[in-house]
Amino acid sequence: MIVQYPDPILKEKMPEFDFNNPILDPIQLEKDMLEAMYQHDGIGLAANQMGIRTRMFVMGHKNLPENGMAFFNPEIIANTEEVEDLEEGCLSFPGIFVKIKRPTSIKARWQNAKGEVMESVFSDYECKCFLHELDHLEGIVFRDRVSSLKWTLATNKSKRK
Ligand SMILES: [Zn+2]
């Protein structure tokens, strides 16, 4: 069960995942979140979308489950000024797709499920996905990133399908 908009947990800023005093076993949490994401054909899923209050999300694709990854306490340490519009969907808004302007590339830092600090550069869809999920942890949904006109057009389009 994925939390659906407008559940108020989607508007909350999530607290740090504390590896010294974890609210859940991080290894198990990563496993459960990836499984839920693949089950719903998602490519990203944030903890609050599962009703769990902590700073963590997963990314991956069910066709390559071994590449699925968890990001604990993620942060952006650099991004391009250049932006591009790519279409995004969200498991909390089934059937709605809307183009969102975001940086083309980011450098990010996070902790893996063992608490080790990781860094990497993401671009294209991975970059969009990372920023979309990070937004969730800040209590921001993609609806907040577009004009009300653009949103109305996107929801009308989804109703016609
Ligand atoms: Zn989402």
At 59, is the secondary structure helix, strand, or coil? strand
Q: Please list all protein residues whose beta carbon sits less than 5 angstroms from ligand 1, which is an ion.
A: 90
Residue 154 CA to ligand 1 center (angstroms) comes to 15
Residue 98 CA to ligand 1 center (angstroms) comes to 12
Digit-coded pLDDT (tens) for 62-119: 999 999 999 999 999 999 999 999 999 999 999 999 999 999 999 999 999 999 999 9
Separation of alpha carbons 147 and 151, rounded Å:
6
Digit-coded pLDDT (tens) for 33-68: 999 999 999 999 999 999 999 999 999 999 999 999
Residue 38 CA to ligand 1 center (angstroms) comes to 14
pTM (2 decimals)? Answer: 0.97
Burial label for 152, CB within 10 Å (0-12, 13-18, 19+), is exposed
